[in-house]
Structure 1
């Protein structure tokens, strides 16, 4: 488990550095995202769809405010169009991360973890805990991308990854975009309450997961 956490923390640090860089450069801020979507809306709603999909896809390479983008997708496109668009962009990023890591991830893990026994233990640990990690990955930024890469690198069957990714992401997208669709600049409360509900539910899930892990170890 230690090797798994080590690799995931390193991956998380890499993704986090892209987020910090984007904030420092002032590129991928919430204000900029909203401005781009507003400009796209003035041209054609299809441009909004393309912008949302592109922003969520590049989240694999440069961390973006994912939940905000999903809420804005609901605001600009309505429901369910915003939900379909947001899910498409998120799935493209996740599946690309899985595919790239399945092809080259074992080399990266071999570079970080030299001992073959520890690499085997890492794969076994993700096999046991990966489904829950993927399911609860929306609880915090970056974790979704990290678990996508770990699923590919450890050769989790693609259908299995898609199943748990969908269980994690589909309700998240539906709630976020619906909250955005019934929100406005004058009444942002639905979006705020939607964000709080999502994070509270996922954090409770992580708490229960960690508690069950601790109980299992004691047994």
Structure 2
């Protein structure tokens, strides 16, 4: 378990540095995303779809306000088109993280975890814990990107990764995009309630998962 946590800590540090750089240069804020989508709407809705896909694709390397972008996708494109755009963008981002890590991650891991035995233990630990982490990743900032990279590094089969990713992501996107589609500037309550409910449900899932993990460890001892 320790080698897996070590790699995840290194990935977290990397994404935090990227996040701070994005914040420092004020690259992608909610206001900028909203203004960009509003400008695209004046031209053609197709551009809104493409812009949402691009924004969420960039989430793998930049700090994009994911939930706000999905809510805005629903607001500007309606449901289910907004959900389709959001799912396309997020899936491409996660596939990029998975693919890059699968191809180049072994070298980076070798620098952090020297022992081949420990690297094997890391893969085993992620095989056991990874599915729940992937499904619940939206509860924690940067966790979706980290789990995508971990899945690639540990060579989790792509179909297996995508199955657990879809189980956690499709309901999240669907609820958020639908809430955005029924919200207005004068009545943002659906979007607000959806945001709070999504985080509450995901955090409850994390709590149950942690209790289950602790119980399993205690039983093993």
**TM-score of the aligned structures, taking structure 2 as reference length:** 0.97
Contact preservation (8 Å) 1:70, 1:176: yes
Pairing 1:113–2:113 present: yes
Superposed displacement of residue 215, structure 1: 0.7
Number of residues paired by the alignment? Answer: 219
Q: Higher mean Cα deviation, 156-165 or 106-115?
A: 106-115
SS in structure 1 at match of 2:47: helix
Q: Which runs of 5+ in 1 are unaligned?
A: none
**Partner Cα distance (2:112, 2:182) in 1:** 46
**Partner Cα distance (1:104, 1:174) in 2:** 33
Name 2:216's counterpart in structure 1: 216
Name 1:39's counterpart in structure 2: 39
SS in structure 2 at match of 1:27: coil
**Partner Cα distance (1:19, 1:28) in 2:** 10
**Partner Cα distance (1:13, 1:198) in 2:** 26
Pairing 1:201–2:201 present: yes
**TM-score of the aligned structures, taking structure 1 as reference length:** 0.98
Partner deviation per Cα, 1:162-183 (whole Å, 9 max, x = no partner): 1001001100000010000000
**Partner Cα distance (2:65, 2:71) in 1:** 10
Name 2:23's counterpart in structure 1: 23
SS in structure 1 at match of 2:5: helix
Q: Which runs of 5+ in 2 are unaligned?
A: none
**Partner Cα distance (2:188, 2:116) in 1:** 52
Pairing 1:99–2:107 present: no
Pairing 1:143–2:140 present: no
SS in structure 2 at match of 1:64: coil
**Partner Cα distance (2:20, 2:195) in 1:** 22
**Partner Cα distance (1:24, 1:43) in 2:** 31
